Chains A and B, each alone.
Chain A
Amino acid sequence: MTAEIGHFSLILALVVALVQMTVPMIGAHKGWSNWMELSVPAAVSQFALTLLAFAALMYAFATSDFSLSLVTANSHSLKPMLYKLTGTWGNHEGSMLLWVLILTLFGALVAVFGRNLPPHLKARVLSVQAAIAVAFLAFLLFTSNPFLRLAFPPLDGQGLNPLLQDPGLAFHPPFLYLGYVGLSMSFSFAVAALIEGRVDAAWARWVRPWTLAAWMFLTIGIALGSWWAYYELGWGGWWFWDPVENASFMPWLVATALLHSAIVVEKRESLKTWTILLAILAFSFSLIGTFIVRSGVITSVHAFANDPERGVFILMILAVAIGGSLTLFAFRANKLESKGVFSLVSRETGLILNNVLLIVAAFVVFIGTIWPLVADLTFGRKLSVGAPFFDLAFTPFMILIAMALPIGAMLPWKRADLARSIKPLWGMMALSVALGALVLVVQTGTLMMAPIGVTLATWLLLGAAADLGQRVRLGKTELRHSLLRLFKLPRADIGKAVAHAGLGITIFGISAITAWQTEDIRVARAGDSFMVKGARITYEIRFDGAKEITGPNYTATEGDFAVLVDGQQVARLKPQKRFYPVSNMPTTEAAIDIGFTRDVYVVIGDAQDAGGYAVRSYIKPFANWIWAGAIIMALGGLLSLTDRRYRVAAGAIRRQTPVPIVAE
């Protein structure tokens, strides 16, 4: 019964979305305020209905209702409750429903919190948002209905992919979708602005928080996925340049560019058309990503749901959304005038450079991802584009960005004196290069990766510190005053420094693990001890034997390892090799001793015919810095998001009391 309620609410949501798509748009065109106002209750009820449908599906998963074909195919009565619940989105149909739920959630948030948006703009934004919802609700109902019943329900389900039975992965999709779908908000604002033919600082102030929120979630989502791959796949790989990973990375790159260009619109009323174009591109890449994951056109490690019918449907959505918005852009873009003037050396120029590099980098990822398809269709060449290509073609852009970032971040708006602006940075630059040179001398390997990475990471970190230091006049006034200034600084400025420092930390982690990781592969018998040489310390690993254990829905071989440094035990590691009988699949559970400067990573493999087990051990230097950096970047975004000007813009209670200015 609940499934039918879910099914009907989904159909009703589609009907509401159809109304919301048309009525407010006509109202905005004709200036009928009651037609425009319809968008608010429509957006809220659309969300409520989708939420009801989602809850019904989750209930079916929780109660293991095997009369639903989706539950039968993706769940099992023995599964732990947490994974029954997260299993709701661990499949094509359910994840699509989550996608739509988040889409309607964003619409409802604009409806509720956008009280001080101009009524015309608000009606148009919600109407565009509803148009996207119409497309995806129809896609869900006509090609991927999660509520289909089975005539003869089986006694038990076929289980969930055991790799998905993991906390990291269970919460990876919601974050990723909040990011992907959050970009629909900037898209709707962009299309609404094109229809209105007006973009101003206020527009940017409304758009930027949504983009920032989406970007934050996307950052966390990508980091979670990468972290999951690191500990679950058994060899500590954390990025594979797989088409589906690229599908989430391209929107991230474009969203990062959008975040920065929206600042220029907000502060200087310049780069308007470009920002609109980026908003369209960012969501377009989200849609392309959805297409890549769900059509199976591009072979990927993650490919699933390779249903041509679904692929064609998404391709149609893609064509209408991207084609339509770009056509609108072509006709209306010239209506948007930019005002601000600035000189060659200015913050504006710095941000334009940032945008050019990020967009070209996104383009490189894009062309690498679709090249196998293009080469096959146009040139008849069957070829692969993998990690070695991306490492080579993408990395230079990141290096350029990292080099320019601290300078651009410290240039004043409008017109800067380059020599004076970068004066506080010379010392930082010298220090970074010196540190890189030191690494070059000390390290035994020949890879240039580590020295370059260390130089850039230090440069970014010190650059962020210098930026803050200058803002609080550190050293130019009493320390007490500097600290006071730090507290009074707009949160966006602190967020900016934090996010840029996060990038430095990620770059450091990536270069360190790439350059200095060591590995040991061997057959070990109980009682065996072996040495694994790390970058700094040599670790002794002692294998104390393995035993068979039984989990809730799996059996496992669990190894017992002691990690010793100079005879002192530093960690006990218990890697597992699991077997899930329901799905007939083995998985590895690596055991990791997580450390600040290194991870000790041990994996146990098959029992060998001659006795003993295959054992793989790694020392992975500074591995956690990769994800810590990403989380710090997201945190920087969060700080910016809580900046006073957005709270005011979002309609929060205005504080009339002026913020006192510290006397110098």
Chain B
Amino acid sequence: MRYVLILFLLFATPVFSVQPDEVLTDPVLESRARDISQGLRCLVCRNESIDDSNAGLARDLRLLVRERIMQGDSDTEVVAFVVSRYGEYVLLRPEFNGSNLMLWAAGPLMLGIGGLIGFAFVRRRRTVPADSLTAEESARLTEILRSDVTSG
């Protein structure tokens, strides 16, 4: 977080992202536009969504998103349109296909493996259950305890 943002300096002077003149009058459409924008990467920035970025290109993309929405595109159509233009690089949430399956499966897979190893370890270290004493044992125990009390 440190050098924080030499970049914010270079690319995204932290002033304003969404400008008042971009906002759609229909709040429902606007909130859809914002949701879509948060998932699209500002191409000239590093790892910032177009919703957060102040760069000129981000603004162009925000306007494009709103334009498509106004023309009646669904959310997926808008995203597909932007991807067809700029490639999958623009998606902040990688597609769920091909080699990316490894990325998406990594967490659950690791959890499975980690869980199994952990379980195997715990089983190996398990104590012999010693909850229940046999009748003989408990009689003997009582005896010991009693003798201890009398002697001590």
Binding site for B on A (CB under 8 A): 92, 95, 161, 163-164, 169, 172-173, 176, 222, 225-226, 228-229, 232-235, 237, 240, 242-245, 248, 270, 293, 299-305, 338, 340-344, 348-349, 352-353, 355-357, 359-361, 363-364, 367-368, 371, 375, 378-379, 381-389, 392-394, 396-397, 414-415, 521-523, 577, 583, 585-588, 603, 605-606, 608, 614-616
Q: Which residues of B contact A523 (CB under 8 A)?
A: 20-21
Closest chain A CB from B148 CB (angstroms): 22
In the bound complex, what is the Cα–Cα distance between A255 and B38 (angstroms)?
Answer: 31
Produce 1/0 per residue, B29-69, CB < 8 A to A: 00000000011010001111100100000000000000000
Question: Are B92 and A388 interface neighbours, CB within 8 A?
Answer: yes
Cross-chain contact of A164 among B4, B7, B15, B99 (Cβ < 8 A): B4
In the bound complex, what is the Cα–Cα distance between A614 and B19 (angstroms)?
Answer: 7
Question: Are B14 and A245 interface neighbours, CB within 8 A?
Answer: no
Of chain B, the residue at the smallest CB distance from A392 is B93
Q: In chain B, residues 63-113, which have Cβ atoms closer than 8 Å to a Cβ of chain A?
A: 87-95, 98-100, 103-104, 106-107, 110-111
Q: Which residues of B contact A605 (CB under 8 A)?
A: 15-16, 19
Question: Are A356 and B15 interface neighbours, CB within 8 A?
Answer: no
In the bound complex, what is the Cα–Cα distance between A164 and B4 (angstroms)?
Answer: 8
The 4 closest A-B pairs by CB, nearest first: A386-B92, A225-B1, A388-B93, A304-B3
Question: Are A169 and B13 interface neighbours, CB within 8 A?
Answer: no
Q: Which residues of B contact A300 (CB under 8 A)?
A: 46-47
Task: Given the known inter-chain contacts A375-B100, A614-B19, please indicate yes or no for A364 contacting B107, CB distance below 8 A.
Answer: yes
Question: Are A172 and B2 interface neighbours, CB within 8 A?
Answer: yes
Question: Are B92 and A384 interface neighbours, CB within 8 A?
Answer: yes
Of chain B, the residue at the smallest CB distance from A610 is B21
Closest chain A CB from B45 CB (angstroms): 7
Cross-chain contact of A245 among B1, B87, B129 (Cβ < 8 A): B1
Q: Which residues of A contact B118 (CB under 8 A)?
A: 352-353, 355-356
Task: Given the known inter-chain contacts A293-B2, A343-B127, A356-B118, please indicate yes or no for A585 contacting B111, CB distance below 8 A.
Answer: no
Q: Which residues of A contact B126 (CB under 8 A)?
A: 341-344
Closest chain B CB from A98 CB (angstroms): 11
Total number of B residues with any Cβ neighbor in A under 8 Å: 57
Question: Are B111 and A389 interface neighbours, CB within 8 A?
Answer: no
Apart from the given pairs A169-B4, A587-B14, 9 other A-B contacts in the complex at a CB distance below 8 Å? A95-B3, A242-B47, A244-B3, A301-B46, A302-B5, A356-B115, A356-B118, A383-B89, A389-B103
In the bound complex, what is the Cα–Cα distance between A521 and B30 (angstroms)?
Answer: 12
Question: Are A360 and B110 interface neighbours, CB within 8 A?
Answer: yes
Cross-chain contact of B111 among A356, A384, A583 (Cβ < 8 A): A356
Q: Which residues of A contact B91 (CB under 8 A)?
A: 383-384
Of chain A, the residue at the smallest CB distance from B111 is A360
In the bound complex, what is the Cα–Cα distance between A161 and B9 (angstroms)?
Answer: 8
Of chain B, the residue at the smallest CB distance from A245 is B1
11 intermolecular pairs with C-beta atoms under 8 Å apart: A300-B46, A303-B6, A305-B3, A342-B127, A356-B111, A363-B106, A364-B107, A367-B106, A378-B99, A383-B95, A521-B19
Q: Which residues of B contact A293 (CB under 8 A)?
A: 2-3
In the bound complex, what is the Cα–Cα distance between A357 and B4 (angstroms)?
Answer: 30
Of chain B, the residue at the smallest CB distance from A615 is B20
Question: Are A371 and B103 interface neighbours, CB within 8 A?
Answer: yes
Question: Are B7 and A301 interface neighbours, CB within 8 A?
Answer: yes
Task: Given the known inter-chain contacts A301-B8, A303-B7, please indicate yes or no for A393 contacting B41, CB distance below 8 A.
Answer: no
Q: Which residues of A contact B145 (CB under 8 A)?
A: none
Q: Which residues of B contact A176 (CB under 8 A)?
A: 1-2
Of chain B, the residue at the smallest CB distance from A340 is B125
Of chain A, the residue at the smallest CB distance from B115 is A356
Question: Are B2 and A414 interface neighbours, CB within 8 A?
Answer: no
Closest chain A CB from B137 CB (angstroms): 18
Cross-chain contact of A379 among B5, B15, B99, B129 (Cβ < 8 A): B99
In the bound complex, what is the Cα–Cα distance between A615 and B107 (angstroms)?
Answer: 41
Closest chain A CB from B126 CB (angstroms): 5
In the bound complex, what is the Cα–Cα distance between A378 and B99 (angstroms)?
Answer: 9
Of chain B, the residue at the smallest CB distance from A376 is B89
Q: Which residues of B contact A228 (CB under 8 A)?
A: 1, 4
Closest chain B CB from A122 CB (angstroms): 31
Of chain A, the residue at the smallest CB distance from B18 is A521
In the bound complex, what is the Cα–Cα distance between A523 and B39 (angstroms)?
Answer: 26
Of chain A, the residue at the smallest CB distance from B88 is A383
Identify which of B106, B123, B125 gathers the most chain A CB atoms within 10 Å of its CB: B125
Check B122 for interface membership: any CB of A closer than 8 A: yes
Task: Given the known inter-chain contacts A299-B47, A301-B48, please indicate yes or no for A387 contacting B7, CB distance below 8 A.
Answer: no
Closest chain B CB from A451 CB (angstroms): 20
Question: Are B6 and A338 interface neighbours, CB within 8 A?
Answer: no
Question: Are A616 and B47 interface neighbours, CB within 8 A?
Answer: no
In the bound complex, what is the Cα–Cα distance between A446 and B136 (angstroms)?
Answer: 63
Question: Are A382 and B125 interface neighbours, CB within 8 A?
Answer: no
Closest chain A CB from B30 CB (angstroms): 9
Q: Which residues of B contact A302 (CB under 8 A)?
A: 1-7
Cross-chain contact of B47 among A229, A338, A382, A386 (Cβ < 8 A): A386
In the bound complex, what is the Cα–Cα distance between A361 and B111 (angstroms)?
Answer: 9
Closest chain B CB from A381 CB (angstroms): 7
Closest chain B CB from A637 CB (angstroms): 20
Q: Which residues of B contact A173 (CB under 8 A)?
A: 2
Question: Are A229 and B1 interface neighbours, CB within 8 A?
Answer: yes
Question: Are A359 and B98 interface neighbours, CB within 8 A?
Answer: no
Task: Given the known inter-chain contacts A352-B118, A375-B100, A383-B89, please indicate yes or no for A304 contacting B38, CB distance below 8 A.
Answer: no
